[in-house]
Amino acid sequence: MHAEHSSLLFLLIALPALGALFNGLTGRKLKNDKLVHTVAIAAVAIPAVIAWVLFFQLAGMDHHNRALEQTLFNWIHVGSFQIDFTLWLDPLSAVMLLIITNIGALIHLYSVGYMKGDASYYRFFSYLNLFIFAMLCLVLGKNLLVLFLGWEGVGLASYLLIGFWFEDRENAVAGKKAFIVNRVGDFGFALGMMALFVVFGTLSPAGDGGINAQLAANPNGFDTNWIEAAAILLFIGACGKSAQIPLYIWLPDAMAGPTPVSALIHAATMVTAGVYMIARMNVLFFHAEFASSIVLMVGAATALLAATIGLVQNDIKKVLAYSTVSQLGFMFVAMGAGAYAIGVFHLMTHAFFKALLFLASGAVIVACHHEQNIFKMGGLWKKLPLAYASFIVGGAALAALPLVTAGFYSKDEILWEAFASGHQYLLYAGLVGAFMTSLYTFRLIFIAFHGEAKTEAHAGHGISHWLPLSVLIVLSTFIGAWIHPPLAGVLPESAGHAGGEAKHSLEIASGAIALAGILLAALLFLGKRRLVTAIANSGPGRFLSAWWFAAWGFDWVYDVLFVKPYLAISRILRGDPLDHTIGLIPRLVKAGNGLMSRTETGQLRWYAASIAAGAVLVLGAIVLV
Amino acid sequence: MPLEHLLLFSFVLFSLGCAGVVLRKNLLVMLMSVELMLNAVNLAFVGVARMIGGHDAHIMVMMIYVVAAVEVAIGMAIVVNMFRQKDTIDVNSFDAMRG
Amino acid sequence: MDPTTLALYALCLLALAGGAGVIALRNPVHAAISLLFSMLALGGAYAMLQAHLLAALQILIYAGAIVILIVYVIMLLDQGREAGSPIYELGVAVGVPLALVLTIIAAPAFLGAEAGPDPLITGAEDCTNCESMAVKVKKPDGSEKAVSGCEDHVDTDGDGFTDCNDTDCADNTLCYGTVRAVGVTLLGPFVLPFEVASVLLLAGIAGSILLTARRPKKYADTLAAPAIQPAPGPTLQPGGRGGDA
């Protein structure tokens, strides 16, 4: 396909970068909070406008050549390894671009009110702009190396933002954990890139001569072992970034960062980078069947596992974190089943309602004077009406309440694709996951907002408070589902599975399950909760809740397998054993010196005796030898 | 008397002198042992002179006498000086060259 | 074995005994006397070996000057009996057996030579071998001549040998080891060492005076000094003056 040149693309990444630099370098000196957030919001809002302009430009282009590109500079030219820093806008990246810039702009606006009065106000917005810059590099990169630049950049921004209040040591530790676990995934990603370069000679998925084009033209001309290996390695990278088993452990700890960070990074954008990457490499994964089935199964397992953990959490943000992990699992189920467009659709709707839920939870936390334990909240529906409405709408979308929510449409498609791709047990797993999703979501809502009030709550105010929440509420309803991403031509539609009777009955079944979950939650968690307390206090109940609370023991296993040995080794190496071993030589020399200097006693007789002894030895040598 | 016997006597006398230098602490006795060594050499010279004819070795012995005399004189002067420094001529106490 | 050889052996053994006494006796005066004894014995040994001048010089220089000087200094420094030290005992305990062993090992090398002519000729035979004991003499006309012990080869005392006891030998003989013979050699080919030895002696004299001389007091010190001052005791610092002038 032939892509048109666009001169506007670089602005998309240049403006956030400039905003980050400006705020980072001058923020402390100027001490002007208004200037800081004006620059920061402009640095995201202007790209949002440009994004819409470009989107409509794309929409008007020819179906087959729907792409805009702009090469910024030659990045790496080493022999046959030629990488240019090229930005590429096709419908897939346009969808991501719109999500990132628009939701990013809303969250920037929300942060104005949320972070008001913070001592490092400028630093926060500088980091947020840095994140937007890196994320846009990720989605706009034409080749995998630019994507990887953005990949690492969002990891960096995530680390900086999770540990934003680094004076509290636990926040810094959580930031470190996120970065290190991400790094493990990045290792797989880098190996995958190398494998792709070996097989295809290029790192660009899209465009003429790209990986997708090569594979489409010559499906059987490449070694399947390499293709499978590359796909699995790339998926390992996606596991790290998108928090799948076994690398999901960083996301719950990442809730130590400020809530807008959780909303933007760990709900809407960064964690979806893995999904985006697989969508980008869709032809590769389509031809790598074994890898796709691994993606499918890991996604399903993660969805279920995270749902069980979310069911027993009592920190409001942790519940939402595990629900993010679970929903990402659903997205990977779609990707593994070959329904790339559906996965991206669910990504979009999830971005809407998860960002909404996080922002609303931030409002709740601040209103309850930084109290995050839901069992210490209660009766908030009267005091915080906007937050309550956000939670109801967002929670309903999360639980995929039929017909009225955006989540219903996207999750439903996923379940249908999972079923139709031949893995029928996945459908049942998906239904169980959907049931648990609505169960824990409404558990959260009922415990936090209903019942008797345990804390005094003060609602937030200001345009920075209600505007983002309202916009996201609207988007989380079925209106959001109308924004069906125009991915035709970029991603294959669902693998051609027809709808029909089976699909309708599936829709009805999933709707019923969602409602059943809500009802069960109401039964168990409204009112006095006698039944659920009894279950929780029983033997198996206690065991299960303890095990699920500890994230199925993953943290403990990693601690024993990796952290403790590493710390033991570094404790051994702290004494610098190599230096001591090499220091043996000077010590030997010193000992020899000590020995030799004993012969210089200053005693005359000793010297005479040594002369005599030497003479005897020499004479003996002469005589005998 | 075969020459070898005389040389053996000279050798034993020389080693007695060496032993005296090493074993005795008194500086003066050490000097006496040095004189013993010189005399042992003289004895050897005289014996060998007898064998090879000529008086050259006798001249050598006379030179050794001169050297020994001068050496004893200077040595005594040094001993007296050392005694003035340390009030003892125990050679163990002169260890300024230690280390 | 003729008496001369017997005497030579005896004198050498006495010299060894004296040497052993030097290193074994604790009192330094006893050691000096033992050294004297050894010197005398060596002088006698030289005499037995026909080194007559050297025998005389040995007595004169060693026994008569050097040992006396050593005894003077021992008296001057008033050293008592030397205390035994561990290394001394150890040295004796280790060294004496070691030396004996070494001697027993080395002795066959020295003692086993009975073959060959006896190079040491003693007794009255020396002048009969004057031919082989020839001394080269420069005659006034510049030529060299090997002069035998007896120039005339006339046996005047009728003992059957032409040796130094013959009267005409006694006048112009250069018998082996006599003053005349050694003197001829000394003032002949070896006149340079002779002169250098005198310079060496001069240096020795000057050196020994310089080393032991006390610095003369400066006039200024004598003025500042009080009338009565306590005699400084012996100090033990390096460079300090021990004792009083």
What is the per-residue pLDDT for C240? 44
pLDDT for C73 beyond 60: yes
pLDDT tens per residue across span A181-227: 999 999 999 999 999 998 888 888 887 778 888 887 887 888 888 88
**Considering Cα of A63, then A65, then A69, then A75, what sign does the dihedral take?**
positive
Q: What's the average model confidence in pLDDT over A494-502?
A: 62
Closest Cβ–Cβ partner in B91, B96, B99 for A605: B91
Are C192 and C200 within 8 A, CB to CB? no
What is the per-residue pLDDT for B40? 96
More confident residue, C110 or C145: C110
Q: Do B95 and A601 touch (CB under 8 A)?
A: yes
Closest Cβ–Cβ partner in C12, C73, C135 for B79: C73
- Rounded to the nearest 5 degrees, what angle is found at the Cα of B17, between the Cα atoms of B13 and B19? 115
Could you give phi then psi for residue A353, rounded to 5 degrees?
A: -80, -25
Which residues in chain B have their CB less than 8 angstroms from residue A614's CB? none
More confident residue, C121 or A63: A63
Q: What's the average model confidence in pLDDT over A345-367?
A: 88
Closest CA to A267 of A277, A254, A279: A254
Q: Which residue of B has its CA nearest to C103?
A: B12
Q: Which residue of B has its CA nearest to A596?
A: B99
Q: Residue C60 — very low, low, confident or very high, per pLDDT cuts 50/70/90?
A: very high
pLDDT tens per residue across span A412-423: 888 887 777 777
Q: What's the average model confidence in pLDDT over C212-219?
A: 73
Q: Do C236 and B86 touch (CB under 8 A)?
A: yes
What is the per-residue pLDDT for C122? 44
Q: Residue A408 — very low, low, confident or very high, per pLDDT cuts 50/70/90?
A: confident
List, in order, residues 6 or more apart from A70 with CB less than 8 Å away: A5, A6, A7, A8, A9, A10, A86, A87
What is the per-residue pLDDT for C103? 73
Which residues in chain C have their CB less than 8 angstroms from residue B66's CB? 197, 200-201
What is the per-residue pLDDT for C164? 52
What is the per-residue pLDDT for C19? 93
Domains of chain C with bracketed CATH:
3-83 (1.20.120.1200), 122-222 (no CATH)
Q: Do A602 and B96 touch (CB under 8 A)?
A: yes
For residue A577, cis peptide bond before it (omega within 30 degrees of 0): no
What is the per-residue pLDDT for C201? 95
pLDDT tens per residue across span B34-77: 999 999 999 999 988 877 767 888 999 999 999 999 999 999 99
Q: Do C95 and B19 touch (CB under 8 A)?
A: yes
Q: Compute CA A220 distance to the chain's CA centroid, rounded to the nearest angstrom.
A: 34
pLDDT for C10 beyond 50: yes
Within a 10 A sphere around the Cβ of C194, how many other Cβ atoms? 15
Q: What is the mean pLDDT of chain A?
A: 85
Q: Which residue of A has its CA nearest to B17?
A: A612
% of residues, chain A, pLDDT over 90:
18
Model pTM?
Answer: 0.67
Q: What's the average model confidence in pLDDT over A104-125?
A: 88
Among A537-541, B20-24, C240-244, where is mean pLDDT lowest?
C240-244
Residues 47-76 of B with CB under 8 A from C: 47, 49-51, 53-56, 58-59, 61-63, 65-74, 76
pLDDT for A407 beyond 60: yes
Q: What is the mean pLDDT of chain C?
A: 72
Q: Do A602 and B23 touch (CB under 8 A)?
A: no
Which residues in chain C have their CB less than 8 angstroms from residue B93's CB? none
Q: Kindly list the distances between the CA atom of residue A362 and the CA atoms of A271, A359, B38, B85, in Å, as whole numbers in the listed order.
A: 19, 5, 108, 93
What is the per-residue pLDDT for C219? 65
pLDDT for C16 beyond 90: yes
Residue C209 identity (one-letter amino acid): I
Query: Any CB–CB contact under 8 A between B89 and chain A?
Result: no
Q: Which residue of C has its CA nearest to B15?
A: C99
Kindly report the nearest CA distance between residue B19 and chain C, in angstroms: 7
Q: Residue A243 — very low, low, confident or very high, per pLDDT cuts 50/70/90?
A: confident
pLDDT for A62 beyond 90: no
Kindly report the nearest CA distance between residue A615 and chain B, in angstroms: 11
What is the per-residue pLDDT for A461? 72
Q: Kindly list the distances between the CA atom of residue C177 and the CA atoms of B47, B48, C118, C126, C187, in Å, as whole numbers in the listed order.
A: 12, 13, 18, 10, 15
pLDDT for A236 beyond 80: yes
What is the per-residue pLDDT for A383? 79
Q: How far apart are CA C107 and CA C120, in angstroms?
A: 19
Q: Do A605 and B99 touch (CB under 8 A)?
A: no
List, in order, residues 6 or more apart from B70 with CB less than 8 Å away: C200, C201, C203, C204
Q: Do A605 and B94 touch (CB under 8 A)?
A: no
Kindly report the nearest CA distance between residue A613 and chain B, in angstroms: 10
Most confidently modeled of A555-564, B59-68, B85-94?
B59-68
pLDDT for A22 beyond 70: yes
Most confidently modeled of A529-543, C46-60, C137-151?
C46-60
Closest CA to A340 of A64, A95, A86: A95
What's the complex ipTM? Answer: 0.92
In the block, residue with structure tokens 């805009």: A68
For chains B and C, count residue pairs whose Cβ atoms are closer than 8 Å.
232
pLDDT tens per residue across span A119-132: 888 899 999 999 99
% of residues, chain A, pLDDT over 70:
96
Query: Any CB–CB contact under 8 A between B86 and chain A?
Result: no
pLDDT tens per residue across span C117-147: 455 544 333 444 444 444 454 555 666 555 5
Q: How far apart are CA A54 and CA A70, in angstroms?
A: 13
Domains of chain B with bracketed CATH:
3-93 (1.10.287.3510)
pLDDT tens per residue across span A258-270: 889 988 887 778 8
What is the per-residue pLDDT for A547? 80
In the block, residue with structure tokens 């034993």: B12
pLDDT tens per residue across span A121-161: 889 999 999 999 999 999 998 889 999 999 999 999 999 99
Closest Cβ–Cβ partner in C74, C88, C209 for B28: C74
Q: Which residue of B has its CA nearest to A615?
A: B18
What is the per-residue pLDDT for C205? 93
